[in-house]
């Protein structure tokens, strides 16, 4: 297989997917195997329409973002695999470093480069936001490494960098995911999940106008992992085992997050647990409100029947949930009822999601449960990693929010 600098990418094209070639089937000079027609997946026990967009033979992929025009961006955290870049655009059958330039230079100080990117998100103003957790192999946050970067997709230029101070992104923090509500404040706010149990977990609020940030719900039971929870993946309990024979429960707190279509509620869930929570987004984002006032708006929305890594909402206010335990994507309707969207045995740890303007749910699959940290240092993952999509009868919720 090719090295990550020139990865093997299998691209499935349909409906004029923006930024990708509509070529005849065969190998292109970019190393992409192009198929001109999307075919629905058929497998025993599977349901839903599952379409393979791309395969990657490089480092682990986590985040995905899709712009209004259909441009696709992916993130690759620094988890031990060699990296040439931590964010890339999938374009013309290849992964290309994005943005180009100094941010991709690993010789620069942590504050001036991309250290480790877990999440990328396109907001309602069509800006790509890059969340840098500033860690190496999920260790302590490097000084100056934790930051939020905005790229104007009209010019492909960085237009804003917001560093997180040490009292917000503590040395033990793990910045995991981010969502936006551009109706709040003078220029909108970002909400970031801290999934590190060592930091107490929590939600970080970022004022996009001032760059000021602060922590919310740190240590609250709704952001903490359930100590009695045991995740079952591929039919086995998932236990941390970094050293052979030394096993302990896999306990991770606040992870997947989403904002309701109207921007009023903020949804979140610990990875290690099956309950879903929400909180009043306006109160959460208001630094003048006390922690007690924020906690008073927290709602326990009940058992969702699965642990989840990613959350996302569509413009009909339906909440999508990745289910590593059941190789599935589920959906919670506004009435609180759950339904299956897609299930397939190839969905080995569906991670992050993004909804495109033309009505597709994109999501990454990365076999996290087979990583060395769970098997005494042995890497049981089998490449490639995959970007899938499935059609949904909706668009992204961020487009349903009033624009400035």
Residue 217 token pair: 């719900």
With respect to residue 266, please indicate whether it lies within any of the assigned structural domains.
yes
* CATH code, domain with 142: 2.120.10.30
Contact in structure between 224 and 270 (CB atoms under 8 Å): yes
Residue 1 lies in a domain: no
- pLDDT tens across 93-141, in order? 899 999 999 999 989 999 999 999 999 999 999 999 999 999 999 899 9
Q: Round the average pLDDT of the chain to a whole number and report it.
A: 88
**CA nearest 231: which of 186, 176, 282, 269?**
269
Q: Is the distance from CB of 358 to CB of 67 less than 8 angstroms?
A: no
pLDDT confidence of residue 249: 92
Exposure on the CB side of residue 281, measured as CA atoms within 13 A: 26
- Beta carbons within 8 Å of 360's beta carbon, 6+ residues apart: 66, 389, 390, 391, 392
The secondary structure of residue 30, as a DSSP letter, is T
Residue 252 — left, alpha, or beta (φ > 0 → left; ψ -120 to 50 → alpha)?
beta
Query: Are the C-beta atoms of residues 374 and 241 closer than 8 Å to each other?
Result: yes
Bigger pLDDT: 2 or 248? 248
Residue 169: predicted pLDDT: 97
User: Is 74 part of a structural domain of the chain?
Assistant: yes
Predicted TM-score (pTM) above 0.85 = yes
How many beta carbons lie within 10 A of that of residue 323, not counting itself?
Answer: 23
The pLDDT > 90 percentage for the chain reads 83
Q: How far is CA 108 from the centre of its chain?
A: 26
* Residues 39-43, mean pLDDT to the nearest whole number: 44
User: Given a cut of 90, is residue 36 above it in pLDDT?
Assistant: no
What secondary structure does DSSP assign to 147-195, as a single string? EEEEEETTTTEEEEEEEPPTTTS-TT--EEEEEEETTSTTT-EEEEEE-
pLDDT value for 402? 53
Considering its fold, how many domains does the chain have in total?
Answer: 1
Asked if 268 contacts 202 with a C-beta cutoff of 8 angstroms, the reply is no
Q: Residue 50's domain spans which residues?
A: 9-399
Cα angle 65, 61, 98 (rounded to 5 degrees) comes to 55
Separation between Cα atoms, residue 69 and residue 54, nearest integer Å: 18
In a domain, residue 4? The reply is no
Which residue's entry shows tokens 């029947």?
305
What's the CA gap between 130 and 113, in Å, rounded? Answer: 12
Count, residues in the chain: 404
Percent of the chain beyond pLDDT 70? 88
**Pairing, β 9-12 against β 32-35:** parallel
Specify the DSSP class assigned to residue 357. Answer: T
The answer to whether residue 275 is domain-embedded is: yes
* pLDDT, tens only, 232-280: 999 999 999 999 999 999 999 999 999 999 999 999 999 999 999 999 9
Distance CA 87, CA 104 (A): 9
Q: For position 400, what pLDDT does the model report?
A: 56
Is residue 177's pLDDT more than 90? yes
> How far is CA 26 from each of CA 34, 111, 166, 336, 378, rounded to the nearest angstrom?
6, 43, 51, 46, 35
Residue 35 falls within a domain, yes or no?
A: yes
| 16 is a domain residue | yes
| Structural domain contains residue 265 | yes
Task: Return the structure tokens found at 268.
Answer: 């979140």
The pLDDT tens digits for 313-358 are: 999 999 999 999 999 999 999 999 999 999 999 999 999 999 999 9
3-state secondary structure of 396: strand
Per-residue model confidence (pLDDT) at position 44:
59
Position 401 scores a pLDDT of 59
The SS3 call for residue 209 is coil
pLDDT tens across 194-225, in order? 999 999 999 999 999 999 999 999 999 999 99
Note the Cα 286 to chain centre separation in Å: 25
Residue 84 banded pLDDT, cuts 50, 70, 90: confident
């Amino acid at each position: 297989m090719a090295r990550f600098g020139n990865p093997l990418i299998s691209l499935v094209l349909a409906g004029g997917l923006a930024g990708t070639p509509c070529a005849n089937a065969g190998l292109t000079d970019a190393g992409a195997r192009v198929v001109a027609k999307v075919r629905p997946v058929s497998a025993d026990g599977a349901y839903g329409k599952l379409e393979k967009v791309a395969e990657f033979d490089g480092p682990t992929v986590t985040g995905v973002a899709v712009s209004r025009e259909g441009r696709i961006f992916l993130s690759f955290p620094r988890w031990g695999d060699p990296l040439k870049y931590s964010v890339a655009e999938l374009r013309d059958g290849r992964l290309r470093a994005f943005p180009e330039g100094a941010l991709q230079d690993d010789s620069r100080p942590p504050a001036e480069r991309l250290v480790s990117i877990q999440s990328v998100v396109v907001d309602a103003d069509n800006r790509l936001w890059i969340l840098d957790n500033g860690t190496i192999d999920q260790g302590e946050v490097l000084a100056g490494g934790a930051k939020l970067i905005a790229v104007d997709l009209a010019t492909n230029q960085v237009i804003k960098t917001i560093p997180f101070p040490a009292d917000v992104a503590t040395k033990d923090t793990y910045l995991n995911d981010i969502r936006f509500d551009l109706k709040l404040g003078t220029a909108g706010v970002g909400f970031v999940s801290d999934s590190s149990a060592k930091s107490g977990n929590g939600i970080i609020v970022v004022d996009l106008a001032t760059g000021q940030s602060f922590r919310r719900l740190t240590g609250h039971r709704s952001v903490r992992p359930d100590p009695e929870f045991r995740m079952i993946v591929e039919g086995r309990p998932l236990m941390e085992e970094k050293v052979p024979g030394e096993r302990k429960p896999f306990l991770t707190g606040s992870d997947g997050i989403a904002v309701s279509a109207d921007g009023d509620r903020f949804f979140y869930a610990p990875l290690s647990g099956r309950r879903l929570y929400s909180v009043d987004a306006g109160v959460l984002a208001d630094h003048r409100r006390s922690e007690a006032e924020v906690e008073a708006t927290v709602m326990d929305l009940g058992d969702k029947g699965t642990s989840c890594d990613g959350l996302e909402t569509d413009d009909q206010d339906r909440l999508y949930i990745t289910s590593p335990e059941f190789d599935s994507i589920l959906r919670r309707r506004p009435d609180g009822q759950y339904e299956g969207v897609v299930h397939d045995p190839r969905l080995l740890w569906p991670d992050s999601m993004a909804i495109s303007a033309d009505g597709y749910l994109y999501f990454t699959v990365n076999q996290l449960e087979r990583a060395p940290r769970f098997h005494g240092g042995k890497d049981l993952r089998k490449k490639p990693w995959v970007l899938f999509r499935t059609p949904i009868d909706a668009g992204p919720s961020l487009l349903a929010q009033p624009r400035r």
